[in-house]
Structure 1
């Protein structure tokens, strides 16, 4: 019985510890997808795996090593915030792949990126014509950042002389046919929601999703989409 209980307790303890660490530094790891955060996340995973399943190792010893890793992480974090050189060494730096519309083949070879890889990265950014690109940088995270040439840049409201009105976060009012009570306050109270439903000859139960969008407009999606041949693709 003890042989069965030990891995169960170790696994539960490791999982709780991982949750605590994730709540503490998870945002930092996810927001900074660089060499430093990648190495940290892999090492944390290895520690947690050993805590859970490697019963021949003492849990206390692994736990001490794990705490040492976190202390080292925060120490380097403090020093790197004060040193640009250290930040560059820990986090890495982006690589310019296209400059002034020209492909930098030497940089491409350094980071082992082929033309096919570059074209795929551009397509993921919605660019199918490489001649539209002025600058392209391969970030440490592996994503591509780019600046299009001026003729291919999207026009802004300022370019079109359109005034910018204030915007706010979306407010979800109905989900799965039920009013979200915590959001149904102020001008968007339950009475207002019911009235808006009646205007459209709908009941709350008929609505799959209703939200006040960033422009202050009400969007409603019904359970019945009334499409003659909806696309059946996941």
Structure 2
């Protein structure tokens, strides 16, 4: 009877600790489905199971190991939020599968991704004819993101105004992230001097910019660190 009560107490305490942790960073895990978070979630589950049911293991050492794991996850998250290189190493990078309607066999072989996998994920997105696809990117979560060719895209209000219609679409190019330029994405049209000129026109410094990207239709989007909102919406 004593063992039963002890097991119940261990289980209750373990679940409470787990729920507290997930209230703290659960949104981050759910929104960033990658190999690192997947492995972390499995490890957390193993710890909680052992803490709750394995009476051969002492509870306090298991709790110490569990909290150490939480601390490591928090530290890695903090570092990766401020370091793009570390973030890529930790979370992985998406892979382009189709570029301008052409299937990239070399990229598929690198990640051991087959044509059957591609066709299955396209069908799950409601695309049964691969000829409709302009770009396809396999995200680190394993999900396939697709941009259709212009003539296969759904009609929008913009399509009824030919003066603002733009049929030339490309993959968006990130030019600035976390106040640092992404040099590899610069080209003849979007150069270092061009983006500096765009910032000067907006009275902005490079350190002011959190994110700058050229959209699929060639429009420049800039987001700064301090948005100066007078009334921000809080959904918490």
Q: TM-score range by the shorter chain?
A: 0.5 to 0.7
Shift of residue 146 of structure 1?
Answer: 1.0
1:7 matched to 2:28: no
Q: How far, CA to CA, are the matches of 1:69 and 1:61 in structure 2?
A: 12
Normalised to the residue count of structure 2, the TM-score between the two structures is 0.66
Deviation >3 Å, runs of 4+:
none
The CA deviation string for residues 70-109 of structure 1, in whole angstroms up to 9 with x for no partner, is 1111111111111111000111010111111111111112
Where structure 2 has 5 or more consecutive residues not aligned to the other structure, the ranges are: 162-236
> Does the residue aligned with 1:142 lie in a helix, a strand or coil?
coil
2:26 equivalent in structure 1? 26
1:127 equivalent in structure 2? 127
Count, aligned residues = 161
1:36 matched to 2:36: yes
Normalised to the residue count of structure 1, the TM-score between the two structures is 0.67
Structure with bigger gyration radius = 1
1:94 equivalent in structure 2? 94
Q: How far, CA to CA, are the matches of 2:49 and 2:3 in structure 1?
A: 18
Q: How does 1:1-234 map to 2 (within 5 A)?
A: 1-161=1-161
Where structure 1 has 5 or more consecutive residues not aligned to the other structure, the ranges are: 162-234
The CA deviation string for residues 124-156 of structure 1, in whole angstroms up to 9 with x for no partner, is 111110011011001111100011111111121
Larger mean Cα displacement after TM superposition, 46-55 or 151-160: 151-160
Q: How far, CA to CA, are the matches of 1:40 and 1:117 in structure 2?
A: 26
